[in-house]
Structure formats: structure tokens, C-alpha cells
Amino acid sequence: MNQSAQSDSYSISHPNSIAKIRTLIEGFDDISHGGLPVGRTTLVSGTSGTGKTLMVVQFLYLGIIHFEESGVF
């Protein structure tokens, strides 16, 4: 993981947009324009073997390690 991605703030908000929470997953925050929407449920879907479980576990792990956030899987 890129060390420069770490920061004291874990959410990003742009004018006239939805507040986002960074996932710290390399590349995902770029293609999702800042991460996942704050305070909303997000469905991660795909066919078998596409990395859904890996992505979610990595998101939870990084949230615990870097932001002391708990998560539910």
C-alpha cells in the first residue's frame, strides 16, 4: 500500500457532491471518485472469483488499522 495515501482524515467531501469515505484500496478510491458514500449501504456484487470478499475484508482491515473504526461483515 502506498504510504502517502495515509492521512488523519478518512472522509472526503467535494462541493455539490456526496461525502465519501476513503477505502485506502489502491486504485479503488480513484475510480470511485474518492471512495464509498458516507452513511450509506453499499452493495458489492460480481460473479464468483472477482474479489468481492477480498475487497470487503481489506476495507475492514484498513479501517481498523488506520482509523480505529469497527466494521460489520
Convert the pLDDT of each residue in 30-43 to its tens digit: 999 999 999 999 99
Question: Measured between alpha carbons, how far is 12 from 29 in angstroms, rounded to an integer?
Answer: 10
Tell whether pTM > 0.75. Answer: no
Convert the pLDDT of each residue in 9-32 to its tens digit: 666 665 668 899 999 999 999 999
User: 21 — phi, psi (to 5°)?
Assistant: -115, 125
Residue 25 DSSP label: -
Query: Would you kindly state where each structural domain of the chain is located, as residue ranges?
Result: 3-67
